[in-house]
Amino acid sequence: MQIFNLADVPQAIDTLARWHFNEWHALYPEETLEDFRADLEASAAHGTVPSTFVAQVDGKVVGSISLLPHDMDIDEPWTPWLANLFVHPDYRQQGVGKQLIEHLIAFARRNSLDRLYLFTPSSRDYYEALGWALLSTQSYKGQQVDIMLRALAKEND
């Protein structure tokens, strides 16, 4: 598996937009497929935040992960957020998601970020096993979600 910056594989945007729309449209019912596509285009850059990374196996897109300034409409100053972790069903349970998360954490550290946030309606145990801590559980757009934090120690610590 290889992981690329979306800026280097913009041809993946349409596929990822469809996957993300199908997976998360219930949380963002006011957004269209084109909105999801535009969000990905905005994160296809070589900056720090926003950024999106794409996992490929034998040149085939199999997953993604993003680093966004905000991923929830809440009254908190928390930033940045791990978002858009998606692995195609044919590639789940093979470590792709974990590798994407590790890649994003290493990227964040290299860019002097000291913490990351995420929210999840159903994967709290998965993230806790990877070192994330629960900040709160709240109702968000009709679903109970867990908001989590990952403090990023320096790589040499």
Q: Which CATH number do you get for residue 53?
A: 3.40.630.30
User: DSSP states of 23-68 as a string?
Assistant: HHGGG-TT--HHHHHHHHHHT-SSSSSSEEEEEEETTEEEEEEEEE
Rg over CA atoms, the chain: 15
Question: How many residues are given for the chain?
Answer: 157
Residue pLDDT, tens place only, 117-149: 999 999 999 999 999 999 999 998 888 999 999
Q: Please tell me the number of Cα atoms within 13 Å of 82 on its side-chain side.
A: 31
**Sign of the Cα pseudo-torsion (25, 11, 117, 86, in order):** positive
Q: Considering the entire predicted model, what is its pTM? A: 0.93
Q: Which domain holds residue 93?
A: 2-113
* 143 inside domain: no
Residue pLDDT, tens place only, 73-118: 888 889 999 999 999 999 999 999 999 999 999 999 999 999 999 9
